[in-house]
Amino acid sequence: MDLIFFGMQGAGKGTIGEAVAERYGHKIFETGAELRRLAQEDSELGRKVKSIIDKGKLVPNKVVMEIVEDFMNKLSPDKEVLFDGIPRSVKQAKTLNSLLDKHDRDYIAVLIKIVEETALKRLTTRRICKNCKEVYPADYKKETCEKCGGELITRADDNVEAIQTRIDAYKKETLPAIELYKDKLITIDGEPSIEEVKKLAFEVLDPILKD
Ligand code: AMP
């Protein structure tokens, strides 16, 4: 069963998604990471995507959906997927759902829920590893990554203006998309510590996904 992961920026969606994917053997498809890779390319499209991401705006549907479609076409039918960062709008949800149907894939949606105040606090204080992109909250005091020793930096789009733009886009575009999944939606409280949220996620997902 595929998983469609939702959560306001800073909800811990990426971190919880990684733990969930590892526990149940899912492959992660993360549009933010795919687009950041594209943004590093020295091409007109690469530069355009970079400028959109740095402002916190949404990349045009056509670009995103081409990446998703390509991924789905290459996907083995017996590999389960965790979608992180897609869909971000009703339009993307409709396209993704028709791709999932076309490929005969079953899915549920998972929402890691936090309030806007928590999102702002977490995003303005978090750092990421320049090298492996591991995310570190404010209470991690070291200057280097625990996993690879890389330098810790602030993500280019983790400035107050871009954060607010991303949160506004989430409220305006993504919340209505989540509504479309309300019959297959599992909501998990994202306010406690990461370890606690992981525990909550495993508790609800184990009965559904553990063989
Ligand atoms: P994220 O890492 O999920 O916070 O995504 C970083 C940025 O990538 C977003 O602020 C958008 O600019 C872009 N992005 C990621 N996923 C999508 C998507 N599904 N549709 C449009 N833009 C996206």
Tens of pLDDT along the chain (211 residues) come to 999 999 999 999 999 999 999 999 999 999 999 999 999 999 999 999 999 999 989 999 999 999 999 999 999 999 999 999 999 999 999 999 999 999 999 999 999 999 999 999 999 999 999 999 899 988 899 999 999 999 999 998 999 999 999 999 999 999 999 999 999 999 999 999 999 999 999 999 999 998 7
Distance, in Å, from the CA atom of 143 to the CA atom of 129, rounded to the nearest integer, reads 9
37 is known as an active-site residue: no
What pLDDT score was predicted for residue 210? 84
Active-site choice (57, 105, 113, 126): 126
CATH number of 2-26+80-209: 3.40.50.300, 3.20.20.450, 3.30.56.10, 3.30.1360.170? 3.40.50.300
Catalytic residue status for 127: no
Helix axes 31-39, 44-55, angle to 10 degrees: 130
- Supply the pLDDT for residue 100: 96
Long-range contacts of range 205-211, CB-CB < 8 Å, 24 or more positions apart?
Answer: 205/20, 205/23, 205/24, 205/110, 208/1, 208/108, 209/1, 209/24, 210/24
For a pocket test of ligand 1, which of 28, 31, 134, 171 has the largest count of ligand atoms closer than 8 A to its C-beta?
A: 31
Residue whose CB lies within 8 A of the most ligand 1 atoms, among 5, 8, 35, 91, for a mutation test: 35
Helix axes 61-74, 90-102, angle to 10 degrees: 20
Among 37, 88, 172, 174, which residue has the most ligand 1 atoms within 8 Å of its CB, making it the best to mutate? Answer: 88
**CA 51 / ligand 1 centre spacing (Å):** 12
To which residue do tokens 């209505």 refer?
176
Catalytic residue among 88, 122, 127, 198: 88
Is the CB of residue 13 below 6 angstroms from any atom belonging to ligand 1? no
Any atom of ligand 1 within 6 Å of the Cβ of 96? no
* Atom 15 in ligand 1: residue holding the nearest Cα: 32
Tokens 């570190």 correspond to: 136
According to the model, what pLDDT value does residue 24 have?
A: 97
DSSP codes, 135-148: EE-TT---SB-TTT
- Whether 52 lines ligand 1, by a CB cut-off of 6 Å, is yes
Is any ligand 1 atom within 6 A of the Cβ of residue 162? Answer: no
Sequence-ordered list of residues with C-beta below 8 angstroms from that of 172, at least 6 positions apart, any chain: none
**What pLDDT was estimated at residue 211?**
72
Task: Please give the distance of CA 152 from its chain centroid, rounded to a whole number.
Answer: 20
- At 40, give phi and psi (nearest 5°): -85, -10
Q: The whole model's pTM is what?
A: 0.91
Q: Which two tokens stand for residue 190?
A: 């994202």
- Residue type, position 191, single letter: E
Structure tokens at 181: 């999944």
